[in-house]
Structure 1
């Protein structure tokens, strides 16, 4: 069980009587509430670690191995020994059945046909270019010269008509319109603008007065009471709640650390009790009872039994070896009686030097150079 490190000390601040009066009861209540929770938490942590080390990790490793054996290795074998050879065979068939015929068709059929078609299109383009340059271009120039002459005549006529229309519009429309704008519309517009400005000034003064009245009414009826409530009610209550929260947090920290020490002491007590109640008696029984009994059984029963078993095995091996040798001799005598005595093997000259004439670096004693 790990104990948490205490938090860093905060700078000392002046404490009032409210803080001192609240701190001790809060810490006592919080300690009483936190100690069982901390002990349960430490017990759950120990049980979780034991469960993880003894059950979950071995089960996870076994599950990983089983999953690898059931899913990964079969797919790897299928990919390596099934899919890859099949894909290579299909690639070879595609190359032989599709790529090679397509290359041959493109090289020996489509390319000559394309060259012939391009030559025909090039000849047709040259013919059309000659027709455009020798026939259509002179005809187009003649038509454009005719149209240009007609356009010049119509342009002169249009200039005369436009000048006459501009003179009539100037003296029949523009001059009367300028006189009406200067001597009628402008004075009327100035009068209307002055009336609108006066009306806007009156409305702005009315709106300003109404807004100022509403501002003071809202300030007196809403802002000043809200400010008084904030300053004289909410701020003191907030300070009290902040003190309570800070003291509760500090009490929780102290209680959690104290509960950790208590839980550690209880855990050590339970461990010591378990050791003296169960482990030490079992160890004493093993050392003082089971070990001498085991030595006696080993010396009086197991070792003589092992020696007897080894002697029986040795005698059995000797009997089996003698039986095999007798059977071998019987087979050899029977073969000699039926087929006769086998001939002696003839010595073959291997042209190798004898032991007295071994090869050395300074002598020519090889099979090809010896005398």
Structure 2
């Protein structure tokens, strides 16, 4: 019912639209809806992957590049540049600066410049001023006079009275020939094709377009492509709604099938049982502490007293044996110095030192 409400109501379409719409609906339900569900799952997984893996990985890669790789590359570049300068640049700079340049300057200043100045001043300048310049001036005057009387005057007359009329005649002849060739080319190649296009091709093409292609294209667009596109768009939106409904259903099932029962079990079963166990554990600890204070501690203290008295007796026996074997002054028994159980005085009513377990 939701899919039928989502689709637009029919507007009096023809039977072709009705025949196309049913297969499109079937394809939309069997193909578009699963594709839309898979698309939504892929989008959710891609967003989760971007938040959990790709984003932190990209930030870690950027941090590693900025903090570790880039300083290493810069240091390597600086080291390579320094080694290159030390091995190739500075030796040639030193050779040029401290050997070749001073030698070249000295050779130019003390050898080439004086020799060149002497050759220019005392050889070339006099030869130019007193030899080449007068000879060149005379040869130039002779050539100009000869050319003027032999070429310029006859050439001017020839150009004015012969070449100019012949040139004008050739220009008019060329213009007439070009005009005739252009007219012939138009008559042979332009006008027939222009007439063919104007009176045959253009009317046929115009008629085919106006009465065949344009109506057919409008009919295909209006009665086939537009309804098909509308049905596809509606199916896509319906698939989206169904996908969202499935998602909401899964969320509702998870909430009412897992989360709410688990919460009820925690509140009604786990928490009371835990409270009972905690109360029992606390009561057991209190009982154990009471038993320890009232029974175990006194017994322990009595056992300690007995153990200490036994140790003292053993020590006295060892001392008596040592004195009997090796000799020595008599000694008062140590037990007279020990206090009896539950008393602060020794057996001989003399004050005895504290030897209890607790200080």
TM-score (norm 2): 0.49
TM-score (norm 1): 0.48
